[in-house]
Amino acid sequence: MTDRLYYTDAYLSDFEASVLQRTDEGRRVYLDRTAFYPSSGGQPFDTGDLGGIPVIDVVDEGDRIAHILAEPLPGNQATGRVDWARRFDHMQQHTGQHLLSAVVSDLLGHRTVSVHFGREASTVDIDAPRMSAEQIRLVEARANEIVVENRPVAVSFEESEQASGLRKAPGRQGTLRIITIENLDRSACGGTHVRATGEIGAVFIRKVERARNGIRLEFLCGGRSNRRARADYDLLTTMGTELSASIDELPGLIAARLAELKEAGLARRELEAQLDVYRARELYTAAEPDRAGIRRVVHRHVGGSLNQLRGVAQAFTAMPLAIFVAGTEHPPAVMVATSADSGVDAASLLKVLLSEVGGRGGGSARLAQGNVPGREQLESVLASFEEETAKK
Ligand SMILES: [Zn+2]
């Protein structure tokens, strides 16, 4: 049985212990006592070193705790050193979670159904159908008030039958380890916690999303809140510099720029439409009418896509007795457009042209398009149309 020193003193980082057993060629070590917290209850394990050898995992085996080391540990006595920055960060997040869950329960009446402590951020899943932005602000503000009140956070051991006022019924009988935040919360928990709410530092709810069991709140506490706030501020400052504005002016400025962009887009599309009409007229004027008076044009559009040609095709065939055939190379594709009075169905004409080279496509009586296997086939389609045209 390993004596868990963190149960009674979460602030103990250095300790002496006797080695009781070692397995896995000395890399899996069992001690009589340890300050190393094993992964459990959602809180990640501590790192650090044992006799100068890095501790890479700590496993809770029920009665005992296994220390997994990078190399075998020699000797029967060892000094353990817990990586304090990592541990204290976990203590801030974990106590912050107790605080947040209690405030959500007291203010809104919603239960916490699960918690997760991650490397970057932590989450609590709340048994609530929804939470408004106003409710989130309220919860965050209340949690931070209690942080400033610096209420004691105490650890006690109580028998399950006698333990009263617990927020959640304990899942087991016998002696419970109870964490009490003064005048706020009593919860049975085996994790490590700070000794007063002031040490949690700023509580920051970062994200609210739907979860399987209700609502998931992503939160940061203490040092993580400060680092995130600094990163956010740096990001905003970079954006401000980019736009030559103070960060407070950014929302208005970005909205104005987006409106300008939208207006410029509309104006551009209008100009493109005008240009299409102009180009179509130019092509129409240059085309020699056949004996039936039909003007045909074959447009070899090397770059760009068929979509970019659609405007010209439609403008061309908006004029009387007109047939427009165009090809693009990347990917090899053909477009056919015809005016209603030409007596030619665009989809049928396309089908005839494509059938010779094994292409695929379709469309309406006025506009149709399709793909051909390659550049050679594309050229053959355009050439056979021109040949047909020359006969008329
Ligand atoms: Zn806890």
229-259 per-position pLDDT tens digit: 999 999 999 999 999 999 999 999 999 999 9
The domain total for the chain is: 3
Q: What is the pLDDT of residue 329?
A: 86
Which residues lie at CB < 5 A from ion ligand 1?
189, 191
109-145 per-position pLDDT tens digit: 999 999 999 989 999 999 999 999 999 999 999 999 9
Residue 148 resides in a domain: yes
Is there a single domain that holds both residue 288 and residue 229?
Answer: no
Is there a single domain that holds both residue 114 and residue 58?
Answer: no
Identify the band that residue 305 occupies on the pLDDT scale cut at 50, 70 and 90: confident
Residue 286 resides in a domain: yes
Boundary residue ending a domain (82, 116, 140): 82
Domain of residue 346: give its range: 270-391
Q: How far is CA 148 from the centre of its chain?
A: 32
In this structure, are strands 65-69 and 53-60 parallel, antiparallel, or unpaired?
antiparallel
Q: What is the pLDDT of residue 301?
A: 74
Is there a single domain that holds both residue 69 and residue 108?
Answer: no
Q: What is the pLDDT of residue 110?
A: 96
Own/partner contacts of 222-228, CB < 8 Å, gap of 24 or more, are 222/89, 222/92, 222/93, 222/96, 223/89, 223/92, 224/89, 224/92, 224/93, 224/120, 224/121, 225/201, 226/201, 226/202, 228/204
pLDDT of 302 > 70? The answer is no
Residue 364 resides in a domain: yes
Q: Which residues contact 270 (CB under 8 A, 6 or more apart)?
A: none
Å from CA of 153 to ligand 1 middle: 11
Is there a single domain that holds both residue 146 and residue 51?
Answer: no
Is there a single domain that holds both residue 96 and residue 226?
Answer: yes
152-198 per-position pLDDT tens digit: 999 999 999 888 889 888 888 899 999 999 999 999 999 999 999 99
pLDDT of 215 > 90? The answer is yes
CATH number for the domain spanning 22: value is 2.40.30.130
Boundary residue ending a domain (50, 82, 114): 82
CATH number for the domain spanning 296: value is 3.10.310.40
Encoded tokens for 201? 């530092």
Å from CA of 94 to ligand 1 middle: 6
| Sign of torsion over alpha carbons 273, 277, 282, 283 | positive
Identify the band that residue 324 occupies on the pLDDT scale cut at 50, 70 and 90: very high
> By the 8 A CB rule, do 370 and 359 touch?
yes
Is there a single domain that holds both residue 372 and residue 338?
Answer: yes
Residue 331 resides in a domain: yes
Å from CA of 164 to ligand 1 middle: 17
CATH number for the domain spanning 221: value is 3.30.980.10
Is there a single domain that holds both residue 74 and residue 112?
Answer: no
Task: Give the span between the Cα atoms of 215 and 313, in whole angstroms.
Answer: 53
CA angle 284, 289, 294 (to 5 degrees): 85
334-369 per-position pLDDT tens digit: 999 999 999 999 999 999 889 888 888 999 999 999
* Helices within the chain (DSSP H only): 84-108, 133-148, 223-242, 250-286, 306-316, 346-355, 375-391
Is there a single domain that holds both residue 112 and residue 228?
Answer: yes
Residue 243 resides in a domain: no
Å from CA of 301 to ligand 1 middle: 69
* Mean pLDDT on 327-340: 91
Is there a single domain that holds both residue 75 and residue 93?
Answer: no
- Helix and strand element counts for the chain (H, E): 7, 20
Å from CA of 95 to ligand 1 middle: 6
Is there a single domain that holds both residue 16 and residue 68?
Answer: yes
Å from CA of 42 to ligand 1 middle: 9
Residue 257 resides in a domain: no
Å from CA of 99 to ligand 1 middle: 10
Boundary residue ending a domain (49, 82, 115): 82
Å from CA of 221 to ligand 1 middle: 14
Name the residue among 25, 18, 35 with its Cα closest to residue 71.
Answer: 25
Å from CA of 192 to ligand 1 middle: 6
Å from CA of 263 to ligand 1 middle: 55
Å from CA of 186 to ligand 1 middle: 10
The model's pTM is 0.76
Residue 256 resides in a domain: no
Q: What is the pLDDT of residue 5?
A: 97
Å from CA of 357 to ligand 1 middle: 73
Residue 308 resides in a domain: yes
Is there a single domain that holds both residue 94 and residue 230?
Answer: yes
Å from CA of 46 to ligand 1 middle: 15
Is there a single domain that holds both residue 70 and residue 110?
Answer: no
Q: What is the pLDDT of residue 303?
A: 73
Mean per-residue pLDDT over the chain, rounded: 93
